[in-house]
Chains A and B, each alone.
Chain A
Amino acid sequence: MIAHGLSSLAAAFVERAASVGTQTHPARRAGAPRLIVQLVAGERASRVALDTDTRARLPESTSALAAARRAVLPPDAAPSQLADADAGVSWAAFGVAETGSVALAARATSDRLVGMLPPLHVVLLAQSQIVPDLDAAAARLRDWTAGGARQPYVSLVTGASRTSDIERVLTIGVHGPRVQHVLLLTDE
C-alpha cells in the first residue's frame, strides 16, 4: 500500500486515514487522471462533478473522464444537479497527518457541494501539503485569517459521512459521501 516516495508525514497520514476507512492512493501527478477514472468506474459512477481547483490544477482529469464516457458536470452546476451526481472530485488545501484529515477550503458554494452531495468523493492532496498535527493545522488557519487571505469556509474532512445515532451502530454514508478516496500526489 505504501509506495516509494512517501514522506514520513504522508505515511502517518495514510495510516490514520485508513483507520477511518479512507483509502489513500499515492500517485504521480501525471497518473492521477487515470486513477480518478478507475475509482469513478469502480463505483459505477457516471455523472462526475469537479471543483474549480481540480479543473484548474489537473485539467487532464476532465478529458480523461470524458474519454471514459463519464458525464462531467458543468462548473456552475446547480445544487439539484450536484445532488444527482454520482461522484465528486475536490482539491484539498492541506492534509493533517495526526488525524488523516483533508482540509477543503473552496469558497464557492458549488465547489463545496462537490464534496457534500455525491455518494463518492475523491480528494486530491499534494504530499507536500501535509502538516503534522492539528496544532499545525490551527496555525495555518490562523495565518490565513491574519494574512488577509480570508477563507470563509474550511472543513477538515476525516473519512466518509457517518452516524451511530441508532443503537450506536456505526453506519457509513448519511447525508454526505459513503466512500472517500484520497489521491496523494507525491510530486506536487
Chain B
Amino acid sequence: MRPRGPRFTALILASAVGAALGVLAVRPRHHARSAAAAADFRRRYQRALRDPHLARNLLAFQRAWRPARAAAFAQLGALWQPTESATVGVRAAPAAPPDAAPPSPDGEAAFAALRAEMAATKDAVIADLPRYFAQFRQAAQAAGAVVVEAADAEAACAYVADLARRRGARLVVKSKSMVGEEIELNHHLQAHGIQVVETDLGEWIVQLAGERPSHMVMPAIHKSRQQVGALFSRVLSREVSREAIPEQVAVARAELRQKFLAADLGISGANALIAESGTVMLVTNEGNGRLVTTLPPVHVVLVGYEKLVPTYADAVRQLRLLARSATAQQITSYTTFITGPDHPDRELHIVLVDNGRLRMRADPVFRDALRCIRCGACANVCPPYQVVGGHVFGYVYTGAIGLVNTPFHHGLEHAAGPQSLCVSCNACATVCPVGIPLPQQILAVRARAVARYGLPVWKRLALALWARPALADAACRLGARLATPLSDGPFLRLPLPAAWRWRTPPALASSPARDRLRGWMRARQEAARMQETAATGQAPAQERPSPTVACFLQCVTDRCCPEVALATVRVLEACGARVVVPERQHCCGLPALDAGDLPAARRMARQTIAVLETSDADYVVTAAASCVVAMRHEYPALFDHDPPWRRRAERLAARVLDLTTYLTHVARLSDAAPAATGAVPRPADAPRPAVAYHPFCQSLNVLGLPAEPRALLEDALGVELRSLPEANVCCGFGGSTSFDHPAVARQIVARKLANVMATGATTLVTDNPGCLLHLRGAADAAGLPLRVLHLAELVTERLDGQRATLRARA
C-alpha cells in the first residue's frame, strides 16, 4: 500500500472514530456476582503484589522443583523398559541387561510413555464413567463401605454434617482434601458447631492463618519460615522459632497428636478409586493420612468421579507419575489402600462429588481436564504463578488446572480474573503427567469470559482498529509521524507513569518494512525477468533448485522493528532462496486470539490466509515464531466449524515455517553450512561475540525447537554461546498479558534478565519479535549493557564481513 495524502488519512481517521463509537456502544453485560468476584480478585492481586516474601519464596521453589523433577524421571528412565505387553515394566534389580535389550530411554521418554498410557486409561474411564462407578460402588459396598453421590457442594456438605450429627461428632480431623476445599466443608461443619482440624502441616498452617491453600500439593508454599514461626507463636501464645523448621514441625506434631487421639471423625480425600476392588488409594508423606483413617471410628472420603481408575495396575502407574510430578519423589512415604472398614464397628463413607464434573465431561473442550491427578506440576513451572501465587493464579484450585476447572466448580466469574494472568507459554503442558491440553483450555476459558463479560474498552478499541488493515496502516503511519519527536532509535521516550517505566516502548517506524521492501521486490522481479530472457534456450543446470519463500513480515516486526524483516529477507536470500514478499500483509490474528476475541481473530486469520495464498511459494517463512504457532496450531481449531476455511488454513499450515527451522532444516545452515550453501560464510578472524539465547517459549513448548539452536549459533555463525539458566522460562511478554498486568510482567522479565546477565553475555538473541521488543525495552529501562537482537539480525551481522561478495553476486 502506498503512502497516501492527508485527505485519505483524514477519511480513514474519521471512519476510525466511527468504528470506535460503534465498539463502545456495545456494552458488556454486568452481573453483580461477577463484579463482586472481580473486586475480590483485585484485592487478592494487590495483596499478593504487596507481599514482600511471596515471589521470592515461590522463585526458590520453582528453581528447585524443575531439576528435582527431572532427576526423579531420570531415575525412572534408568529402570524403565518396555515390556512385551507394551505397558511399563520396571526392572527390579539393576543387573546388567542382556545384549539384545534396547538402550534405556531417558527420563523424559519414560515420562512421555507413561503419560500416554495414563491419559489413555483416564480417557477410557471418563468415556465409560457410569460403568466404572457402578463397578466401584458394588465392590466397595461388598467390602462394607457406604458409597454416596453428591450432586453439588451443598449436598456433599449436608451429608457429612448429618453424619457427624448422627454420630455425635464434636471434633473432626482432616487429611488433605482438595474436594474438601472445593466444597468449603470446614465452614459448613464449623457452622454446625463441629471443630475441624487440618492435619497436613501445610493445610494446618493456612487454616491457622485463615487462608486457602495456595498450591494443591504444598498449601503453604507461599509462606516463609519466618511467617510460619510468627503465626505459630501468635496462635499458640508461646514463642516458636522463626528460623528452625524442625522446631516448627515438632510443634505441629505435638499439637496435632492430641487432636488425632481425641477425634470422633476423620475426613480424607482420595488419590484414586480402584474400580476392580472398591479400594480408596491415599498418598501422604507426613503420616497424617493414616492416622486420620485409623484413629477415629468413622472415616469419610471426599472424592471426585475423576479419580476412578479400573485396576490396581492403573493405580500404581498413576503413583509413578504423581509422586515424581508432585514432589519429585519416586513414591510418597505412605501409600495406603483402603478397602471397606477394617472392623464391623467402624464405618467408611465414600462421598463422590459431582459439583460440575459431569458438565465438564459433557463439554468436548474441557473433558480432558478430568484426567487431572492433582499433582500441581502446572503451577510449578508457571511464570505468573511464581509472581502472584495460587491465591491469585487460581481460585480454590490453583495453577493452570485451576484456571480450567474453576468455571465448572465455582463459576466462570471466579476464573475471569485469574485466567487473564496466563502468558500462554505452554510450560504447563510440557509437565502435565496426563497430557491435559491446558493452554488451549485456558484460551477457551478466556474466550468464554470475553463472550460473557466483554473486553476492557482499551482492548476492544485496539482490536477493532487492528482487525481493519487499512485503518491499522493509517493509524500506524500517523502515530509514527506524531511520535517522531519522541523517538530515539528503536525506542519511544515517553513520560510514562512510574508503574510503566520498567519497559521502554518501541518506536513506530516512520517507514515500515513493507515500504522498504517494495523497491527491493521490484528490482528482484526485474532481475529475474532479465535472467529468464538471457537463459532462453538453455537448460538450467542447477543441482539443487532454489526454493521459493514467501516472507510473512508480521505486523509488529513490520511496524516496530522493520530491520528484523529486512534482515530476514536478506538471510533467506543469502541461503539461496528466491524470496517474495506478498502485498497487503497484515496481522495473523494472534493478538485477538490471545485476547479471547475469536470473531476478530477469524477475520484477521482469513485476511492472512488469503494474502499468503496469492503466492505459490514452497514455504512461508517468518521471523515471528508466535505467528507460526498461531497458523499451524490455532488456525485449524479457529475454523473448526467452517470446513472450506479450515482446508485453506491447513494448506497454509503445511508450508509455514519459523526462521530457525528454515535455517536448520531447509537451508541446513547448521550442518556444515557455510561451505554447503556457499552463502553464509563465517569470517574466520572475526571476534566471537558472547551470546545468550532466549527461546520464545512456544518455539520450545509447541514447535519443539531446542532451547539453544547450538549448531546454528556456534558452528554456522561462530558465536560463543553462553548457557542461559532457566532458558525455558517465559520472558513475561505473553501477548497482551504484559499490558494487562504490567506489575507481573515486570517481575518475570526481571527474572529473565537476571539470568541473562549472570551468563556474562553482552548480546541476547531471541527468535520472536514479541520477546525481542519486551526484552529490549526492559533491558533499556534497566540500563543494562546488553544488546538484544533477533536471530535474523545476528545472522546478517555475521554476514557483514562478506557484504561485498554478496553484493557482487546479486
Interface residues of A (CB under 8 A from B): 8-9, 11-12, 15-16, 19-20, 79-80, 83, 97-99, 101, 107-109, 112-113, 116-117, 131-135, 137-139, 141-142, 145-146, 150-169, 171, 173-177
Give every chain A residue within 8 A of B228 (Cβ-Cβ): 166
A171 touches B257 (CB 8 A): no
Distance in angstroms between the alpha carbons of A135 and B89 in the assembled complex: 7
B430 at the interface (CB under 8 A from A): no
Given contacts A80-B261, A152-B339, contact A175 B286 (CB under 8 A): yes
Give every chain B residue within 8 A of A117 (Cβ-Cβ): 257, 291
The stretch of B4-12, B330-338, B523-531, B599-607 that contacts the partner chain = B330-338
B276 touches A175 (CB 8 A): no
Give every chain A residue within 8 A of B330 (Cβ-Cβ): 16, 19-20, 98-99, 158
Chain B residue with Cβ nearest A15: B94
Q: Which of A138, A167, A173 contacts B312 (CB 8 A)?
A: A138
B420 at the interface (CB under 8 A from A): no
Give every chain B residue within 8 A of A8 (Cβ-Cβ): 92-93, 95
Given contacts A83-B257, A175-B286, contact A145 B279 (CB under 8 A): yes
B334 touches A167 (CB 8 A): no
Question: Among residues 193 to 227 in chain B, which have CB atoms less than 8 Å away from a CB atom of chain A?
Answer: 199-202, 205, 218-221, 223-225
A174 touches B249 (CB 8 A): yes
Determine how close the nearest CB of chain A comes to the CB of B729; give it in whole angstroms: 18
A135 touches B245 (CB 8 A): no
Q: Which of B64, B257, B336 contacts A155 (CB 8 A)?
A: B336
Determine how close the nearest CB of chain B comes to the CB of A112; give it in whole angstroms: 5
B341 at the interface (CB under 8 A from A): yes
Q: Which 3 A-B pairs give the minimum distances between C-beta atoms?
A: A176-B287, A132-B92, A165-B202
The stretch of B313-321, B544-552, B749-757 that contacts the partner chain = B313-321
B316 touches A134 (CB 8 A): yes
Distance in angstroms between the alpha carbons of A177 and B286 in the assembled complex: 9
A153 touches B336 (CB 8 A): yes
A97 touches B92 (CB 8 A): yes
Distance in angstroms between the alpha carbons of A39 and B221 in the assembled complex: 36
Interface residues of B (CB under 8 A from A): 57, 60-61, 64-65, 79, 87-95, 139, 143, 199-202, 205, 218-221, 223-225, 228, 245-246, 248-249, 252-253, 256-257, 260-261, 276-277, 279, 285-288, 290-291, 293-295, 311-313, 315-316, 319-320, 327, 330-343
Query: 12 other contacts beyond A101-B335, A108-B343, with CB at 8 A cut-off?
Result: A12-B94, A98-B92, A134-B319, A145-B276, A145-B277, A150-B143, A156-B334, A159-B333, A163-B201, A166-B249, A174-B249, A175-B199
A112 touches B294 (CB 8 A): yes
Given contacts A135-B313, A145-B276, A173-B249, contact A156 B335 (CB under 8 A): yes
Distance in angstroms between the alpha carbons of A177 and B287 in the assembled complex: 8
Give every chain A residue within 8 A of B340 (Cβ-Cβ): 150, 152
Chain B residue with Cβ nearest A165: B202
Determine how close the nearest CB of chain B comes to the CB of A139; give it in whole angstroms: 7
Give every chain A residue within 8 A of B87 (Cβ-Cβ): 135
Distance in angstroms between the alpha carbons of A99 and B90 in the assembled complex: 10
Give every chain B residue within 8 A of A157 (Cβ-Cβ): 333-334
Chain B interface helix/strand/loop/mixed: mixed
A173 touches B339 (CB 8 A): no
A109 touches B200 (CB 8 A): no
Distance in angstroms between the alpha carbons of A133 and B327 in the assembled complex: 20
Q: Which of A12, A134, A159 contacts B320 (CB 8 A)?
A: A134
Q: Which of B79, B223, B295, B331 contacts A79 (CB 8 A)?
A: B295
Give every chain A residue within 8 A of B252 (Cβ-Cβ): 174
Distance in angstroms between the alpha carbons of A161 and B291 in the assembled complex: 12
Give every chain B residue within 8 A of A134 (Cβ-Cβ): 90, 316, 319-320, 331
9 contacts between A and B (CB under 8 A): A132-B91, A145-B279, A162-B286, A163-B249, A166-B220, A168-B218, A174-B253, A174-B287, A176-B290
Determine how close the nearest CB of chain A comes to the CB of B718; give it in whole angstroms: 42
B257 touches A98 (CB 8 A): no
Determine how close the nearest CB of chain A comes to the CB of B316; give it in whole angstroms: 4
A152 touches B338 (CB 8 A): yes
B331 touches A162 (CB 8 A): no
Give every chain A residue within 8 A of B313 (Cβ-Cβ): 135, 138-139, 142
Distance in angstroms between the alpha carbons of A71 and B221 in the assembled complex: 41
A153 touches B93 (CB 8 A): no
Distance in angstroms between the alpha carbons of A151 and B320 in the assembled complex: 23
Among B65, B91, B143, B286, the one with the most A-chain Cβ atoms within 10 Å of its Cβ is: B286
Determine how close the nearest CB of chain B comes to the CB of A98; give it in whole angstroms: 5
Give every chain A residue within 8 A of B315 (Cβ-Cβ): 138
Determine how close the nearest CB of chain A comes to the CB of B78; give it in whole angstroms: 12
A155 touches B334 (CB 8 A): yes
Distance in angstroms between the alpha carbons of A177 and B139 in the assembled complex: 33
B90 touches A154 (CB 8 A): no
Distance in angstroms between the alpha carbons of A188 and B110 in the assembled complex: 35
Given contacts A8-B95, A138-B316, A163-B286, contact A133 B335 (CB under 8 A): no
B79 touches A98 (CB 8 A): yes
Determine how close the nearest CB of chain A comes to the CB of B91; give it in whole angstroms: 7
Distance in angstroms between the alpha carbons of A114 and B257 in the assembled complex: 15
Determine how close the nearest CB of chain B comes to the CB of A128; give it in whole angstroms: 14
Give every chain B residue within 8 A of A9 (Cβ-Cβ): 92-93
A165 touches B218 (CB 8 A): yes
Chain B residue with Cβ nearest A101: B331
Determine how close the nearest CB of chain A comes to the CB of B105; give it in whole angstroms: 17
Give every chain A residue within 8 A of B95 (Cβ-Cβ): 8
Determine how close the nearest CB of chain A comes to the CB of B584; give it in whole angstroms: 54
Chain B residue with Cβ nearest A110: B294
B332 touches A132 (CB 8 A): no
Determine how close the nearest CB of chain A comes to the CB of B766; give it in whole angstroms: 31
Give every chain A residue within 8 A of B218 (Cβ-Cβ): 164-165, 168
A166 touches B223 (CB 8 A): yes
